[in-house]
């Protein structure tokens, strides 16, 4: 039996992102994000119930400020004491793991989807999903962009506005576009 586009996505194969099953999953995520954004903070708590229920894993004390967007939600794993500030976007076509005590500044963007480079195949809406892993106690400054397939090691810092195109070793600080190691933390 042929694989569904969702099964291809989960398996890390090329898939068509315009598919009825994926459309329905994105609509469910949009509803959950909408609930999260519209609830009063006292009613919502750290994360609105529908949004929390979507996630693959979510520690009780993880917190997401409003104006948040995710593609599916089902691939997001949030560790203990994770803080996601206002305006963050997670396009979770693959697994996105954010480790304990990590913080994302305002408007951080995490992308797992990579569209096909061949223009004819791109017209067919083909993309591949590459996971993103953010270790424990990582600080990602506001406006940073994390590209598909990137791993950021424990205790690393990503400077505001940086574009992370490659893995970041534990304990280092990276800045710029593309992000490069800055040197010792002070």
Task: Return the domain boundaries, the chain.
Answer: 5-179
Q: Answer yes or no: are the C-beta atoms of 22 and 42 closer than 8 Å.
A: no
Q: Tell me whether residue 115 is one of the annotated catalytic residues.
A: yes
22 phi and psi, to 5 degrees? -70, -35
158/175 Cα distance (integer angstroms): 6
Calculate ∠ Cα 148-109-62, nearest 5°: 105
Task: For residue 73, give every residue at least 6 positions away whose Cβ sits within 8 Å of its Cβ, in sequence order, or none.
Answer: 28, 29, 32, 33, 51, 54, 55, 92
Q: What CATH class does 5-179 carry?
A: mainly beta
Q: Answer yes or no: are the C-beta atoms of 180 and 144 closer than 8 Å.
A: no
Per-residue pLDDT in tens (0 to 9) along the chain, 186 residues: 899 999 999 999 999 999 999 999 999 999 999 999 999 999 999 999 999 999 999 999 999 999 999 999 999 999 999 999 999 999 999 999 999 999 999 999 999 999 999 999 999 999 999 999 999 999 999 999 999 999 999 999 999 999 999 999 999 999 999 999 986 554
Give this prediction's pTM.
0.95
Closest CA relative to residue 100, chosen from 52, 55, 158, 60 = 60
Identify the pLDDT of residue 87: 98
Catalytic residue among 30, 69, 115, 125: 115
Structural tokens at position 143? 């406006």
Identify the pLDDT of residue 15: 97
Identify the pLDDT of residue 184: 57
């Amino acid at each position: 039996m042929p694989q569904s586009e969702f099964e291809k996505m989960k398996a890390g194969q090329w898939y068509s992102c315009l598919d009825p099953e994926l459309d329905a999953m994105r609509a469910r995520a949009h509803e959950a994000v909408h609930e999260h954004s519209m609830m009063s903070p006292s009613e919502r708590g750290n994360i609105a119930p529908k949004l929390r229920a979507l996630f693959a894993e979510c520690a009780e004390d993880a917190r997401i400020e409003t104006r948040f967007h995710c593609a599916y939600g089902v691939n997001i794993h949030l560790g203990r004491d994770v803080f996601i500030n206002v305006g963050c976007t997670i396009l979770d076509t693959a697994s996105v793991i954010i480790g304990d005590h990590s913080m994302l500044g305002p408007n951080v963007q995490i992308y797992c989807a990579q569209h096909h480079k061949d223009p004819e195949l791109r017209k067919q809406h083909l993309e591949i999903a590459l996971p993103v892993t953010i270790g424990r106690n990582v600080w990602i400054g506001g406006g940073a962009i994390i590209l598909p397939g990137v791993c950021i090691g424990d205790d690393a810092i990503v400077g505001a506005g940086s574009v992370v195109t490659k893995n970041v070793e534990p304990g280092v600080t990276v800045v710029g576009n593309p992000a490069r190691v800055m040197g010792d933390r002070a």
